[in-house]
Amino acid sequence: LLLAIITLAFGLLAHAPRQPGLQEVPAHDGWVTDLAGLLSPQEEAALEARMESYRAGSGHEVALLTMPQLEGESIERLALTIGRAWGIGGPESSDGALILVAVAERQVRIEVGRGLEGNLTDSIAGRIIRDVMAPRFKQGAYAEGLALGIEAVHAAVGGDYGPLERGQQGSSPAGTAAVGLVSLAVFFA
């Protein structure tokens, strides 16, 4: 009987209507998840390899998510939720970052795990968005802006790039929830 009650409760929760403004966490498909279609397959593969090389060499995880729109959700809340759900940086060290780009709203946000806060401060993250990424986005050069922004995040965090095996595909962010993310959002217009 207890098992039947628990099963029924989980079934009702699974079919409960979503709360307004809460967007589902998108599935990640590696270090680069380009739901907005800003990158060609070659550009995405090159960024994926670069980000995996950085993870292998430094131990720090940086992920990129582009979205066509936020669907009424705040970028702050969504980025924090996704960063935690994807487990970027791991639960113990929380030494990862998520770059979230929302095209329709023209917003970029960098969520920084507590383990990287000392190196990737709000000030530095803001400068990366304003001075490196946003000018390229304004010109429509999204791939260039994303690549340079990721390189700037890697440089700010420190560490080295590691060798990659030939033909290696990028890993996915860890499946465990990371805790303690801080964030910064900047609008590009």
One DSSP character per residue, 10-34 reads: HHHHHTSPPPTT-PPPPPP-SSEEE
Mean pLDDT of 23-44: 93
The reported pLDDT for the residue numbered 165 is 54
* pLDDT score for 22: 53
Residue 17 predicted with pLDDT over 80? no
Q: Which residue has the tokens 């946000």?
A: 109
**pLDDT reported for residue 91:** 75
Average pLDDT for residues 39-49, to the nearest whole number? 96
Query: What pLDDT does 114 receive?
Result: 86
Lowest mean pLDDT among 55-59, 128-132, 170-174: 170-174
Q: What is the pTM of this model?
A: 0.76
Q: How confident is the model at residue 64 (pLDDT cuts 50, 70, 90)?
A: very high
Provide the CB-side half-sphere exposure for 45 (13 A, CA).
6
92-113 tens-digit pLDDT:
778 899 999 999 999 999 999 8
How far apart, in whole angstroms, are the C-alpha atoms of residue 45 and residue 32?
A: 8
Stretch 24-44: mean pLDDT = 94
HSE-CB for 105 with a 13 A CA cutoff: 19
